[in-house]
Chain A
């Protein structure tokens, strides 16, 4: 019996020991706590590309330009004064003498050169944004082919320790926005030295990714990354060496992390643990909205639904033949238009997404860009025209149409939307497609490699210019998943990129989008909305389509 009793006793002892081992974390309470979408993925400016990472990025880094917390316009950041040549191609940045890294080092021009050089050597999703700089493309091409590359040929010049001169190939009206964006953040070379690795064969330098972890991560923004507990919490503490520390409103900010548990996030908001939810679950938000409509007393003023800078659409494969050699009916623009015009989008936003989204007849969300008007003819629901076009293309009433598949990624509402659209095509065109749900990891690869017939897709703008949408459909764009090619579209876009006059630029882009919609390589379905929840004592969170929030300005006030 004694021997038998020993087992539970040992178990209990182990339990107590392991409780100490598994540790705990509390520390001082934060001034502001929030949830962002999912986990922290990547804090290396080279590879930052998710919205939630970029938000943290703006908290811990600052580019030559920064974002105004209210308007989100690019305003002088680490560079206090910026001289732009009259032709708009030469930028001279004067870095503020009081700009400091979290380790106390001053921010110098060479920190930008170091970071941009590393960016071109170890490219990421947004490295192409640096291609506007004279010599950058050639340098990147040489790096890509493994040839010797001379970085001094890239026109990024250090005039003195705090003056940086950048020369562009042609004027880029949104270059200030790019200079505020993560790929142009500076890096502190001294603190990264210990993570440097040199390839013995090529002699090329790389840096171990763990340089982004506290306490070694040195940044130059309003906050420093004080701690990063895996899948639990990221803590930001005000950077005492930041040049504008007087305007950093909260001293300690916590970003809590739980993955794929929107109900848990919401419950913690409701119990007051969290001050801001940046991405409320659609089911919860739709339910709260519906309740508010039924009973005005239950209306939640802390639930903010506002237009986003993105479009949900379906993408046609426009190649003459599918990758497996089958003939592709979507190469015919009449077939594409027939499919596009047959879709009634209203039931989708009313019964499936239910967040008050606007249905999309255009590609660029109307009203999201100042001065840009959507082109005249959108892809509006028109079933009789759709049937006529399909008959004209040789498939009257859908007869003889090959069996095709509709590809989408599982999760979210994509399956329900696909079923709804499939039913509409069957009823209106007499064409029945097979649904093909795949998990996300496979989905993006197949979409990017045209291994699909027709696929669910989406696009979000990165910076405030039409080109952030228009460039996707350029013939040589990596993101042209439809492989749709139109020389006139390309010509208009390239002309717009070089046009200095704002109104004329917008008109060129408008004409380009008209061609895109007439040729319909895509079916716009609805414009995304953002959903935030924060209480009335929270300040500094703008309801902007671009969904960006500048943490420097975010804080809570005491309400009576």
Chain B
């Protein structure tokens, strides 16, 4: 197991380097530059000075400078937000997104698994039908619609929660709920399908024949197996929710990281683009590894090392 983790960890730098290079080339080739921001044309000397200052006058200077600093843990200065380094920006916005993402994902997992299990047990019943429909709406409803609806309902019409505020646990509820809807629906569907599968297994019948209560069989014996597909979904889902959502952050004015994925590209803020992409990549790699490890943890019979050896 340790060997497996070590090999995976050793692959990380290589994968990250490839991602860095691809992102850099895309950002560099896109027309437009991060310094020209007004309807005035910039003094060419001023532009050159700035580009030199940011080591962005030639592509090889950029590549010769930033990756070296990145290895030391420094993403360099943001080209758009003068005076702020990418590290500063990540430092203030990543915790916000992680908090919100954790809340959303916890909520999605609890509710999704519970709803999916119940739907599978009462298969074909009213609850199954209702939860399937809700899940279908949850997946299909774009988050900007869901988020706006929540905001209008619970902040404007029924002022239970503040409009656009960040700093107290109360502010987590609406954006967290909005962010959790899609993963929740997915988890519910995944749980339902794999639970139905599990329930038809022989060992379930055996357990029931042994005299175990229905509840104990479902929650103790079946859920563990039915949970595995959910677990594999949780890896990428965690990477996506923890790094923030542009739409949800926009609607609820959450100062998270999600907005920077879009805005940095719009502003051609090359260092920030690379910063956000690298953070997302690290999250994705780490969570996928975590999921593999968790597999073995949930079900010791699974040998995750089998494939890589």
- Counting CB contacts under 8 A, is A125 at the interface? yes
Range, interface on chain B: 35 or more
Q: Is the beta-carbon distance between A125 and B31 smaller than 8 angstroms?
A: no
Task: Provide the bound-state CA to CA distance between A24 and B167, in Å.
Answer: 5
Distance (whole angstroms) from the CB of A46 to the closest CB of chain B: 9
Quick one: which of A421-475 are within 8 Å of B by CB? 439-442, 444-445, 447-448, 457-460
Secondary structure at chain A's binding surface: helix, strand, loop or mixed? mixed
Quick one: which of B133-176 are within 8 Å of A by CB? 156, 163-164, 166-169, 172
Q: Is the beta-carbon distance between A459 and B39 smaller than 8 angstroms?
A: yes
Distance (whole angstroms) from the CB of A136 to the closest CB of chain B: 13
- Counting CB contacts under 8 A, is A393 at the interface? no
- Counting CB contacts under 8 A, is A515 at the interface? no
Quick one: which of A1-36 are within 8 Å of B by CB? 1, 3-4, 7-8, 11-12, 14-15, 18-19, 21-26
Q: CB-CB contacts of A115-128 with B at 8 A, as 1s and 0s? A: 00000001111011
Q: Is the beta-carbon distance between A4 and B224 smaller than 8 angstroms?
A: yes
Quick one: which of A191-212 are within 8 Å of B by CB? 206, 208-212
Tell me which of B31, B255, B266 contacts A445 (CB under 8 A).
B31
- Counting CB contacts under 8 A, is A153 at the interface? no
Q: Is the beta-carbon distance between B41 and A481 smaller than 8 angstroms?
A: yes
Q: Is the beta-carbon distance between A7 and B40 smaller than 8 angstroms?
A: no
Could you say which residues of chain A place their CB within 8 Å of the CB of B45? 123, 140, 143-144
- Counting CB contacts under 8 A, is A479 at the interface? yes
Using a Cβ cutoff of 8 Å, how many contacts connect chains A and B? 168
Secondary structure at chain B's binding surface: helix, strand, loop or mixed? helix
- Counting CB contacts under 8 A, is B92 at the interface? yes
Distance (whole angstroms) from the CB of B256 to the closest CB of chain A: 9
Q: Is the beta-carbon distance between B77 and A19 smaller than 8 angstroms?
A: no
Tell me which of B102, B167, B268 contacts A26 (CB under 8 A).
B167
Distance (whole angstroms) from the CB of A266 to the closest CB of chain B: 10
Q: Is the beta-carbon distance between A209 and B36 smaller than 8 angstroms?
A: no
- Counting CB contacts under 8 A, is A478 at the interface? yes
Q: CB-CB contacts of A201-235 with B at 8 A, as 1s and 0s? A: 00000101111110000000000000001111000
Q: Is the beta-carbon distance between B84 and A49 smaller than 8 angstroms?
A: no
Task: Provide the bound-state CA to CA distance between A267 and B294, in Å.
Answer: 45
Q: Beyond A12-B106, A144-B45, A267-B163, is A230–B82 a contact (Cβ under 8 Å)? A: no
Quick one: which of A236-294 are within 8 Å of B by CB? 258-261, 264, 267-268, 271
Could you say which residues of chain B place their CB within 8 Å of the CB of A7? 109, 294, 298
- Counting CB contacts under 8 A, is B232 at the interface? no
- Counting CB contacts under 8 A, is B297 at the interface? yes
Quick one: which of B250-292 are within 8 Å of A by CB? 250-251, 253, 255, 259, 263, 266-268
Could you say which residues of chain A place their CB within 8 Å of the CB of B224? 1, 3-4
Name the residue of chain B whose CB is nearest to the CB of A4: B224
Name the residue of chain A whose CB is nearest to the CB of B101: A18
Distance (whole angstroms) from the CB of B220 to the closest CB of chain A: 5
Distance (whole angstroms) from the CB of A398 to the closest CB of chain B: 31
Task: Provide the bound-state CA to CA distance between A447 and B40, in Å.
Answer: 10
Could you say which residues of chain B place their CB within 8 Å of the CB of A264? 163-164, 253
Q: Is the beta-carbon distance between A261 and B46 smaller than 8 angstroms?
A: no
Task: Provide the bound-state CA to CA distance between A39 and B219, in Å.
Answer: 51
Tell me which of A4, A209, A260, A460 contacts B82 (CB under 8 A).
A209
Could you say which residues of chain B place their CB within 8 Å of the CB of A267? 156, 163-164
Q: Is the beta-carbon distance between B31 and A1 smaller than 8 angstroms?
A: no
Q: Is the beta-carbon distance between B39 and A458 smaller than 8 angstroms?
A: yes
Could you say which residues of chain A place their CB within 8 Å of the CB of B294? 7
- Counting CB contacts under 8 A, is B33 at the interface? yes
Could you say which residues of chain A place their CB within 8 Å of the CB of B163? 264, 267-268, 271
Q: Is the beta-carbon distance between B32 and A441 smaller than 8 angstroms?
A: yes
- Counting CB contacts under 8 A, is A42 at the interface? yes
Task: Provide the bound-state CA to CA distance between A439 and B37, in Å.
Answer: 12
Task: Provide the bound-state CA to CA distance between A49 and B82, in Å.
Answer: 13
Could you say which residues of chain B place their CB within 8 Å of the CB of A210? 77, 83-85
Q: Is the beta-carbon distance between A8 and B39 smaller than 8 angstroms?
A: no
- Counting CB contacts under 8 A, is B11 at the interface? no
- Counting CB contacts under 8 A, is B103 at the interface? yes
- Counting CB contacts under 8 A, is B95 at the interface? yes
A-B contact pairs, 13 of them (CB 8 A): A4-B223, A8-B109, A11-B102, A11-B109, A15-B99, A19-B169, A47-B82, A123-B49, A125-B38, A125-B46, A232-B166, A444-B32, A444-B38
**Extra contacts besides A124-B46, A459-B39 (5): CB < 8 Å:** A1-B219, A47-B82, A268-B164, A445-B32, A448-B41
Q: Which chain B residues have a beta carbon within 8 Å of chain A's beta carbons?
A: 31-34, 36-46, 49, 53, 77, 80-85, 88-89, 92-93, 95-96, 98-99, 102-103, 105-106, 109-110, 156, 163-164, 166-169, 172, 219-220, 223-224, 227, 250-251, 253, 255, 259, 263, 266-268, 294, 297-298
Q: Which chain A residues have a beta carbon within 8 Å of chain B's beta carbons?
A: 1, 3-4, 7-8, 11-12, 14-15, 18-19, 21-26, 39, 41-44, 47, 49-50, 122-125, 127-128, 140, 143-144, 206, 208-213, 229-232, 258-261, 264, 267-268, 271, 439-442, 444-445, 447-448, 457-460, 478-479, 481
